[in-house]
Structures are given as structure tokens and as C-alpha cells.
Structure 1
């Protein structure tokens, strides 16, 4: 029969029981002190982008690609069709070779000796180009002689005038009277040629008004009249320069002053 414990004995037994439980739990598991790690924890260095006023992060714009090549300038259109046959024209007109070109001597108030050439046979307008900085216009003309095509280039000026000594009018530089011609059209151009070198006084006079005038004025050599006749009538290019496109360079010989619509 179990002994009944008094109050003091009961409390002592409970205390011993609890102490035994604590000691039995601690003696079974060894206690290990915490050792700090030799490698520090990585620090978060990510930069947070603050939200915009709308709450949406700002997107990085896509950079514009840098062009690697310079754009090719627009090519000036050039007529590539058929040219009028000048030899056939003059054959129908009954003209002789020596009368093929008619030069008229002109003297200006600026004491310039010019030759004016009216080209009776029709020419085909091959190309028109203009330099906006200088105002200089270039014409390329084409014609055919006995089945062979020829092209030549001349200067023209839109605002270059010469006061005539014997008649009360100006000889314009070509631009105002061209009338926006279309390439491929048949035209009867009028040309000017300078017989003598330009005087210093004339160059100084025109420099303030028409600075590009003297830039296109060449000297017509004595033999150039015969050379021009041979070129236009027979296609003989001897004595003149030809560029890489096969175009005869008459920019320092003839100046286009007017472009008339030809009677085809």
C-alpha cells in the first residue's frame, strides 16, 4: 500500500522530478558555441530605380544607329533617246558646210567683243543642271551625224546680261528665257563666244552684280570656229576635251544664252 505523502514531501518530490527531466535532456546533447563564418555575407549592391510619377519605371531609349555610308546624291536625269540628225536637216535645207554655223559679231557697252551663234539645226536637250550657290546652269546637248550620236556641254547664266552697243536690249544669260525645258525636247539654242580675253575693268564691274559671269567666260580661239564647224557637221572632235561619259566639253568655248523651241 503506497505511503501517502505530506504536503512538504509532495513538493520536494515534484521539484526532484522536474530537475531530473531538465538534467536528463541537457546531458544527452552537447552544447556547441556559435563560430562566426570567415566569409562575410554578400552585400546587395543593386541600384533600385525610383518609380516615375505614374509608377512605371522609365524605359531606356533605343540609340539611333549611326550611318556607315554617306547618302548618294540624287542623280540628275539624262535623256537617252534618239537625237535629231543635223546632217539630214541641212541636206534638206540645201545648206553648204561653210555656211553651217553663222557667227554674228556683237559689241557691248562694256567694250566686250562677242560672237553670237544661232544654231539652225535642232538639238536634243539631254540634261539640265544648276548650282544653287553660284547660279551657274549647265546644259548638255545631243545630235546625230550620219547615224552617230554626239553630246556636248555648255554653261549658261540665269542673271548675266550684256548691254548691246547698237541696239537697245540686253543679251540674257539663258536662265530667264529657258522656260523650264524638258529633257528630250528639240531646241534651237543661241550661243555666245568671247573673242577677246575679258578686261580687268569688266571683271571688276561685273564682280559686284554678276560674280559668276566671268567664271564661265572662256576665250574663243581663232581655230575654234573651224573646229566647231567640223564637230557639228562631221562629228569631228579634234581639238576639244571629252569627259569620261563621252561628252564634249565646250563650257569654255560657248555659252548658252537662249533656248528656242525647234520646229521639228
Structure 2
């Protein structure tokens, strides 16, 4: 399958066919760069194919739903990819950051990446230190939905979830949990370290693991409703039988925020500026085939 045909199908499912043209083009360039990076890394070498159709690579559900707007956007930014210091950039992206994107090394514990350090997505968030529990809760409670937003954007921006204490214990592999300790939040508000204390103690040290154990949450930017205490920087919660969770954002929070890209495009921002905002210091390269 030609790469450009594949990209049209990816964009259809990643950001939607009703997105403004500039958001579509930003998504296409990010998806093209990401696809090439995956291909170069041979992620599915032993599987007998190049790319899968899930979020492990990029969501792809076929080309039969493509419309003229998407095909035109692919044509207008054909062959464009992002480079940083002479190499393909790692253009990871996610549905919704919730206010700020997160640094790649905070989420995935690797080396810092200059163009994936985290940026402000909504200016109002600059009045909040989302690494602090009080500010994270206040920001999550703040109404943010805008009239132009689609239902999926609203659902990614603000959400609720509940999980029984018994189910949480089961998910964590414990017979009981008497105390939850939140040890660290990133600058985006995402929780990256949690300790669950019960018959045994278990530490959750990645945002993905935290999301899964707490019931397949949209993101790890959340708080547990009810009273809490703070001791030496650790947030201490004595959980109730039914744990109510309020959260913001969807996905890991690294790289381009799709909801943010849509918002910027609706305000007239060009796709080159959108990409520069989320991947600062990168450059668009149209001649990569000859490099």
C-alpha cells in the first residue's frame, strides 16, 4: 500500500474527517514521520508485516471511508516529515493533554528529548502548578469545554470514572488496600508514581500501569474524590469502598495534543505553526527520500 494512502486512513481515525484543514495537515505530517520512524525501527519485523492497525503503531481502519477533504490535505503536505538535527523526529501524539503536554522522559523514563519537553496547550493553565495536588484538583474542576468542540473532544477533556476498592485490589494483585499514596505528578498533572498499601505494598511507576490498575483510565491526570492529606510531599488517601475518580485528558500526554491542534486550527493557526508549537526546534523536510 502506498504510504500516502495509508496516511489518509490513519488521519481519518486519529483526528476525524471533519477536522479543519490545518489540523489535518499537522496530523498527516506527524503521522507520516511517526510511520517512517516505526518502519526504520522494524517494530514488526518478526510478525511478517510493517505496521499494525492499533495504537501500538497508528489506528488504521481501511481506506473505504476516505473523503475529498482528507485526500486534499494529504496532497497539500505530500512527503513532508519533521527532522531534528538531521534525523527524523519522534513525533508521538495523543488525544488530549488536558492543558499541558508532558516531557517524554517523565512518561517513558528514557533520556530527555529536546523537542518533547512539554508545552502549554491552554494559556489559562499557566496559573496552576499541576505537579501539586491542590492545583491539579483545581484545574481538573475548571470548566474548559468550548462551543466548537465535538463530543469526543469534550469527553477527552473532562471525564469521571468509578472503581470499587475490591476491583482495584484485584487489578493490583492484592487482597486488600487500606491506603493510596500519590508520590509524583509530572508538569502536565499526570500521576507517574503511586504506592498501594494493603496486605502487601505495590508500587506503580508508569502512567500506563497506573491507568490500567485504576480501571483503564483515559489518562493518569486525575484525582480521587474525597479527603486527602499531604505529608512530606506525598498525597495520602484512605480509600472508600467505591472510589470516585475525576480526570482530564486522554493518552500519555507526550507530543502533539490532537484536541489542542484542532483548537489552534479553528483559531486560524497554520499547520507549520501547530507542529512547531508541539515539536519545538524541529523543521519540515520535503527531500528526505534523497537524504
TM-score (normalised: structure 2): 0.22
Bigger RCO (CA 8 Å, 6+ sep): 2
Report which of the two has the higher share of strand. Answer: 1
**Structure label with greater radius of gyration:** 1
Report which of the two has the higher share of helix. Answer: 2
